[in-house]
Amino acid sequence: MAPRFSLSLLLSFMLTILLICPTHAQKNVLISEKNYSFCVKALKSDPRAPLPDLVGLTNVSINLADVAANKTLELITSLKSKTTDPLLASQYESCRVFYGNIVHIIQDAKKAWKAGDYETVFVKAGGILTYNVDCNDALTFKEASSLREANKEVYNYFTTLLRVSKSLTKDG
Instruction: Please indicate, yes or no, if residue 69 is contained in any of the structural domains.
Output: yes
- Is 40 contained in some domain? yes
CA-CA distance, 97 to 76, in Å (whole number)?
Answer: 10
- 150: domain CATH number is 1.20.140.40
Residue 123 pLDDT greater than 80, yes or no: yes
Residue 90 domain flag: yes
Domain annotation covers residue 9 = no
Q: Tell me the average pLDDT across 133-139.
A: 90
Judge whether 96 lies within some domain: yes
Q: Average model confidence (pLDDT) for the chain?
A: 77
| pLDDT over 80 at 21, yes or no | no
Q: In the predicted model, what is the mean pLDDT of residues 70-88?
A: 95
pTM score, whole prediction: 0.71
Report yes or no on 110 lying in a domain: yes
**Domain annotation covers residue 8:** no
pLDDT of residue 5: 37
> Residue 77's closest CA among 89, 65, 63, 87?
89
d(CA 14, CA 80): 47
Torsion on CA atoms 90, 95, 101, 107, rounded to nearest 10: -140
> What is the span of the domain harbouring residue 126?
23-166
Query: pLDDT for 84-117, tens place per residue?
Result: 999 999 999 999 999 999 999 999 999 999 999 9
Residue 29 lies in a domain: yes
pLDDT band (50, 70, 90) for residue 40: low
**Percent of the chain whose pLDDT exceeds 90:** 40
Higher pLDDT, 162 or 32: 162
Question: For the chain, what is the domain count?
Answer: 1
